[in-house]
Amino acid sequence: MLPLLRTLGILTLGSVLPQAALGQLSATPRTFTSSTVVLTNGDTLRGSLILHSELDVLLITMADNTVRTVPAMMVRTFAVRGEIMSFDRLPAQYRNSSAFVPARVRRRGQDVQRSRPFLVYPWNRDRDQAPASAPAFFERLNGGPVILLRRQQLVQRAVPWSDAYFNTGYAARPAGGPYYYTDVRENLYLGTPQGSIVALRKPRRDLLAYFPAEAAQIERYAEEYGLNFTDSAHLARLVDYANSLRAVAMQ
């Protein structure tokens, strides 16, 4: 089989990707039960979807069970729903028990049923000295015109059975470990009205630097409503508030 990057280079929209190639694309894909994908040529595709974030490639299973391979350069926008959450080798009796699943994994369930929109921006993959950018997928978290964006990466972590959330007295440590679960690592960005990306490496500092005239009001708003600059839902509210301040100032 051709090397992975060469294989991706010759795939075209509508090609059927063999199962063997699917296994090579990524050890940690994001899988969704339904999607609507709008292409740059105006076509719309629907079906279950696998998102390979590190390669910015979509695999869409069509009604005839073929898999359409769609790179970011061919996508205008897409929305997904119903993420299939993986617990890897976590024992079956613990997969749906809040007592035995880390809180950060439980929080992923909040996003499972809602529709989640994604946009495409040129991105240098956080390499500031990179000579060029390539189209990449970003999840949209607020309204705009300045948009809070995020990219999530799935990482596999070992279950620390000695931690407090496993020592509840309801069950003994299962045999057969070690066990693993899939955790989420996320990076946040601003999408500007000009179509560029601003990385929020330190969200508080970088957000206030982007909105210098509104910075003091943003900080007061965050304090009044108990919002922090690291939670993506809180940060989305702060960006929306900053947008409203800037809109008023421009009137």
71-89 as b/e, with b when 16 or more CB fall inside 10 Å?
Answer: bbebbeebbbbbbebbbee
Are 108 and 121 in contact by the 8 Å Cβ rule? The answer is no
Per-residue confidence (pLDDT) for residue 29, from 0 to 100:
86
Are 32 and 81 in contact by the 8 Å Cβ rule? The answer is yes
Instruction: Please report the beta strands in the chain, taking only residues with DSSP state E, as ranges in sequence order.
Output: 30-39, 44-46, 48-52, 57-61, 67-71, 75-83, 116-123, 134-140, 147-158, 180-191, 197-199
Per-residue confidence (pLDDT) for residue 154, from 0 to 100:
76
Per-residue confidence (pLDDT) for residue 97, from 0 to 100:
53
Per-residue confidence (pLDDT) for residue 131, from 0 to 100:
74
Per-residue pLDDT 10s for the chain (251 aa) are 333 333 343 344 444 433 333 333 334 789 999 999 999 999 999 999 999 998 999 999 999 999 999 999 999 999 999 998 765 555 565 555 554 455 455 555 555 568 999 999 999 999 888 777 999 999 999 999 999 999 998 777 776 655 544 544 445 556 666 766 667 789 999 999 999 999 999 999 999 999 999 999 999 999 999 999 999 999 999 999 999 999 999 98
Element holding 236 (H helix, E strand):
helix 232-250
